[in-house]
Amino acid sequence: MPTAAEKEAAKANEKKKIEEDTLPKARAACDALLGGGGLHANQGVGREFEDIIEALEDAIVFAIGEEDAELSREVRLTLSKAYLCARRLDECVHYLTPELEHARREGGEESASVHLLAARARSLKGEKEQCRKELTAALDCASESTSESKQGESLLEAGLILHDIGDWEKCAPILSTAGEAMEKLDRKVDASRAYNRAGSALFRLGRPDQAARCWLRELKTLESDESVTTSILAQAHGNVASAFLLAGDQSTFNLHKGQALGKAREAGAEDEARVLLQLGNAYKLAGETVDDSLAMAKECFEKVKSISKVGVVVDTATKALEMMTL
């Protein structure tokens, strides 16, 4: 039988393993899935991620058994995030509940991340009102922070979640503010994401002139980042061109249309097809307000079908043409 000293040593080793291996590995895996808005495109997680969840489940049993409140809280939060990534949403909400109660009592910047995690879970469950309540609580907590970085991150995450649930009116100003905050912090990737989604929301609201301003700021941020590819710049110019077409500024539309197609051709046929889809949709939306717009839309969609080898792109162009003939 192990001695008391040996039992204590085993417990200490297990705690050390959780703190130095299990939690860091799990956080890195979750951040990789959640970063860049990739969660909604994720159709499941692999065996490696399931192993991470199993390790966290063992860790929470250990932490609770040892009555280690601080370790229990860290593991519970990470396990909730892992369940979120795996789309095991009921389990995510279950484990997050005690941490939400703690966050409501304590407030402060640390509680903002808990409310944001709950909001993300609610958004994926389709519970929009609960999602909005969690976002309000998150932004209230973030406002108590003295860190511009923390405030900017909270604004960006809140804005992205609102965009995901289709709350265009609320997300646009939050994302614009987040973009300015990230630009100030020289976090160009985050700034461009914020401006991109803000422009998307305003475009959907039928405000192409305001969308154009957001997308121009995105484009400026992208052009200042040497790591940005020609493909991304082509899409950004395509967005700007679409907004100016619907805003009635034909000359600025032509300028960015030329830039978009030029960079897309430089990047490859599939990039050209995607830009042509953007332009075709813009022409279609413009309708009779722009001369020959429907003819131009058909020309764009037909060219997409002729140059793209990607099924979903060709199908999108085909469906657009079918809708125009109805």
C-alpha dist (Å) from residue 110 to 114, 138, 145: 7, 10, 9
**Rounded distance between C-alpha atoms, residue 131 and residue 123, angstroms:** 6
Task: Work out the pLDDT band at 42, boundaries 50, 70, 90.
Answer: very low
pLDDT digits (tens, 9 = 90+) for 253-307: 999 999 999 999 999 999 999 999 999 999 999 988 888 899 999 999 999 999 9
Rounded to the nearest 5 percent, the helix, strand and coil shares of the chain are 85, 0, 15
Helices and strands (H and E) in the chain: how many: 16, 0
Provide the 8-state DSSP code for 268.
Answer: -
CA separation for the pair 115, 103 (Å, rounded): 8
Query: 38 pLDDT band (50/70/90 cuts)?
Result: very low
The least confident of 33-47, 187-201, 230-244 is 33-47
pLDDT of residue 44: 58
* Position 84 pLDDT exceeds 50: yes
- The pTM score is 0.88
* pLDDT (average), residues 214-238: 96
Query: Average model confidence (pLDDT) for the chain?
Result: 92
Residue 2 confidence class, pLDDT cut points 50, 70, 90: confident
pLDDT of residue 165: 95
Note the pLDDT tens digit of each residue in 149-206: 999 999 999 999 999 999 999 999 999 999 999 999 999 999 999 999 999 999 999 9
Q: Cα 216–219–222 angle (5° rounding)? A: 155
Band the pLDDT of 249: cuts 50, 70, 90.
very high
Amino acid at 34: L
Nearest to 234 by CA among 213, 257, 210: 257
With 50 as the cut, is the pLDDT of residue 41 above it? no
Please state at what angle helix 269-286 crosses helix 311-325, rounded to 10 degrees: 20
Cα gap 233→240, rounded to integer Å: 11
Question: Is there a contact between 245 and 211 (Cβ–Cβ < 8 Å)?
Answer: no
Per-residue 3-state assignment (H helix, E strand, C coil) for 128-180: HHHHHHHHHHHHHHHCCCCCHHHHHHHHHHHHHHHHHCCCHHHHHHHHHHHHH
Secondary-structure class of domain 229-326 per CATH: mainly alpha
pLDDT of residue 107: 85
Q: Which residue has the higher pLDDT, 106 or 115?
A: 115
Around Cβ 20, how many Cβ atoms within 10 Å?
Answer: 10
- Biggest alpha carbon distance in the chain? 88
pLDDT range class, residue 36, cuts 50, 70, 90: low
